[in-house]
Amino acid sequence: MILQENMLFANRYNLIRLLGRGGFSEVWLAQDKYTKLQIAIKVYAPGQGMAADGLQEFCGELANVFDLNHTNLLKPTHVDTYDDMPYLIMAYCPNGSVANKISKLNEKEIWQLIYDVASGLAYLHSREVVHQDISPDNILIDEHGNYVITDFGISNRARTTLRKSVIKTSSDGGKMAYMGPERFSKQPAPTKASDIWSFGAMLYEIVEGTVPFGEIGGGLQKGGAEITEIQANISDTLKQTIEQMLAPDTWDRPTAEQLVQKAKRQLNGEPEPSNNTGDKKKKPEKKEPNKTVPITGTNNGSAVTDSSLEETVDPNKQSKKKRIVWILVALIVVIPVALGIIRYKEIQKEKAELSYSYSDLMSSFDTNLNNAGMDNIEVLNEAISNLRSMERIEANVYFEDPHRSAAKKEELTQKVQALYDEADRRYQLAPSGTEAEKRNLNKRRQLYEIKQNI
Residue 307 maps to a domain = no
pLDDT tens digits for 397-433?
888 888 889 999 999 999 999 999 898 888 888 888 8
- Cα–Cα distance measured from residue 82 to residue 186, given in angstroms and rounded to the nearest whole number: 37
Residues 349 and 262 in one domain: no
| CB distance 203 to 110 below 8 Å | yes
- Cα–Cα distance measured from residue 282 to residue 93, given in angstroms and rounded to the nearest whole number: 60
pLDDT tens digits for 110-150?
999 999 999 999 999 998 889 888 999 899 999 899 999 99
Domain stops at, among 267, 289, 305: 267
Residue 91 maps to a domain = yes
Q: Quick one: pLDDT band at residue 281, thresholds 50, 70, 90?
A: very low
Residues 256 and 360 in one domain: no
- Cα–Cα distance measured from residue 46 to residue 138, given in angstroms and rounded to the nearest whole number: 19
So what's the pLDDT on residue 161? 62
pTM metric for this prediction: 0.59
Q: First and final CA of the chain: distance in angstroms?
A: 54
**Counted domains in the chain:** 2
Residues 55 and 177 in one domain: yes
Domain stops at, among 267, 284, 304: 267
So what's the pLDDT on residue 310? 43
Q: Quick one: pLDDT band at residue 68, thresholds 50, 70, 90?
A: confident
Domain stops at, among 234, 251, 267: 267
Residue 279 maps to a domain = no
**How many other CB atoms sit within 10 Å of the CB of residue 183?**
21
**Identity of the residue numbered 81:** T
Q: Quick one: pLDDT band at residue 174, thresholds 50, 70, 90?
A: very low
Domain extent, residue 219, equals 8-267
Residue 282 maps to a domain = no
Mean per-residue pLDDT over the chain, rounded: 83
Residues 132 and 32 in one domain: yes
Displacement of CA 243 from its chain's centroid (Å): 12
Rg of the chain taking only CA atoms, in angstroms: 36
